[in-house]
């Protein structure tokens, strides 16, 4: 009960509890046009397309890339799903339009620099800085394909469905018997048999089976070599030319692999991320705006604690800050010094509840007590939660 209230009323908390670490993993998400370019490098079939950030670039792309096309697909580039059903704050309906070639410049001008709101952006929406111009494909079949990491098998898992074009959740509910799952032995890698199981589960109607098997293997190679955490293609489509094409894709990459995927990580678009998460990352912190937590776990410095408080207090929705320290690596005296210094630097306007337990806990409590500042101390997490809720509503 108390923790439920805490989640609602204390919208942001400072925490290093190990149980929350899984929620706070940051993963690089790249734009559709970037993913298509990367897949093309691996020999994966993708629609012909080009990104543009201005009307002049759109005009040039039409002349250079689509000189003979009658219709072109114009896709707003934001890091969120549901673009097709989204609405711009300007009033324009839809973030994806199929238009006559002579209308492309006009529709692109109405998208660029505007805010698109979708189910996944939240009401604040995201700015469209680029549009992706793609050839209009003649599709005869749409399927779903994804590779993700599976805890149960401790390795990559390929998921496919012979129906596509909508979310996997909807597909699993409507067509559970059409879902195929093929775990891949991470040490052995994908085999022809594995890829064949996937293709047979997808049951392509016109694409050559052997070609489809090779496409699946190339997708798996991309997934592994680039440290993907998710590679989702929806739809994986068949064209009237009997070709299997990744018509739309979403790729996420493991942030822990940034040191060996330098080229890919230059693709990060901070304008599409929560500015608080960007600021936290610069201080080597993890911040998850949705769950309202900052993680300063491990051997954090006093300076990191100060930065964490700056980020938390910059959010007007914050009603209270709960600091929960429990563990052996993070030193309680370091956290306590950081809290005291942060409270002095950021002019705290919200109550701060502190629960310390672990290495150097006595020194930490003494630092808090001798600071002369109005900090609420707690003995355990339940006590801290009760005090935080009370302080937030008072």
Catalytic residue set: 144, 232
Alpha helices (H) along 42-185: 55-64, 104-111, 168-174
- Beta-strand relationship, 115-117 and 87-88: antiparallel
Among candidate residues 344, 388, 390, 282, the one with its CA nearest the CA of residue 14: 388
Question: Helix (H, G, I), strand (E, B), or coil: what is residue 156?
Answer: strand
What's 188-248 look like in SS3?
CCCCHHHHHHHHHHHCCCCCCHHHHHHHHHHHHHHHHHCCEEEEEEEEEEEECCCCEEECC
Among candidate residues 101, 57, 103, the one with its CA nearest the CA of residue 77: 57
C-alpha triplet 295, 296, 300: angle, nearest 5°: 170
The Cα 31–Cα 8 span in angstroms is: 32
Question: Helix (H, G, I), strand (E, B), or coil: what is residue 159?
Answer: strand
Q: How many residues does the chain have?
A: 394
Question: Measured between alpha carbons, how far is residue 264 from residues 36, 160, 228, 251 in Å?
Answer: 13, 26, 11, 11
The Cα 271–Cα 263 span in angstroms is: 19
The Cα 218–Cα 203 span in angstroms is: 18
Query: Torsion angle of alpha carbons 36, 40, 45, 51, nearest 10°?
Result: 40
Contact (CB, 8 A) for 115 and 126 = yes
The Cα 326–Cα 320 span in angstroms is: 19
């Amino acid at each position: 009960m108390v923790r439920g209230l805490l989640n609602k009323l204390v919208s942001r908390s400072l925490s290093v509890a190990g149980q929350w670490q899984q929620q706070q993993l940051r993963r690089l998400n790249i734009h559709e046009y970037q993913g298509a370019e990367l897949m093309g490098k691996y020999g994966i079939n993708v629609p012909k397309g080009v990104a543009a950030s201005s009307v002049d670039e759109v005009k040039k792309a039409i002349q250079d890339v689509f000189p003979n096309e009658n219709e072109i697909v114009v896709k707003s580039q934001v890091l969120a799903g549901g673009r097709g059903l989204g609405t711009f704050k300007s009033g324009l309906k839809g973030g994806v339009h199929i238009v006559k070639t002579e209308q492309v410049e006009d529709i692109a001008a109405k998208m660029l620099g505007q805010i698109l709101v979708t189910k996944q952006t939240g009401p604040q929406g995201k700015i469209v800085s680029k549009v992706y111009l793609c050839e209009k494909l003649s599709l005869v079949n749409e399927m779903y394909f994804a590779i993700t990491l599976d805890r149960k098998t401790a390795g990559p898992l390929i998921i496919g469905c012979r129906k596509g074009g909508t979310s996997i959740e909807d597909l699993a509910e409507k067509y559970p018997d059409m879902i195929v799952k093929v775990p891949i032995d991470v040490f052995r890698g994908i085999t022809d048999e594995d890829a064949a199981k996937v293709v047979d589960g997808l049951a392509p109607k016109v694409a050559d089976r052997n070609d489809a098997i090779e496409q699946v293997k190339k997708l798996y190679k991309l997934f592994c070599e680039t440290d993907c955490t998710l590679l989702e293609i929806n739809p994986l489509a068949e064209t009237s030319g009997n070709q299997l094409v990744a018509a739309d894709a979403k790729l996420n990459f493991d942030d822990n692999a940034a040191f060996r995927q330098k080229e890919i990580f230059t693709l990060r678009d901070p304008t599409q991320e929560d500015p608080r998460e960007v600021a936290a990352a610069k201080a080597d912190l993890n911040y998850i705006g949705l769950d309202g937590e900052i993680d300063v776990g491990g051997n954090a410095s006093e300076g990191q604690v100060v930065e964490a408080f700056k980020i938390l207090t910059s959010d007007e929705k914050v009603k209270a800050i709960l600091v929960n320290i429990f563990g052996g690596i993070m030193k309680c005296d370091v956290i306590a010094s950081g809290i005291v210094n942060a409270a002095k630097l950021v002019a705290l306007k919200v109550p701060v509840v502190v629960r310390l337990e672990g290495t150097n806990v006595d020194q930490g409590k003494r630092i808090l007590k001798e600071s002369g500042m109005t900090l609420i101390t707690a003995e355990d997490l339940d006590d801290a939660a009760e005090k935080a809720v009370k302080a937030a509503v008072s």
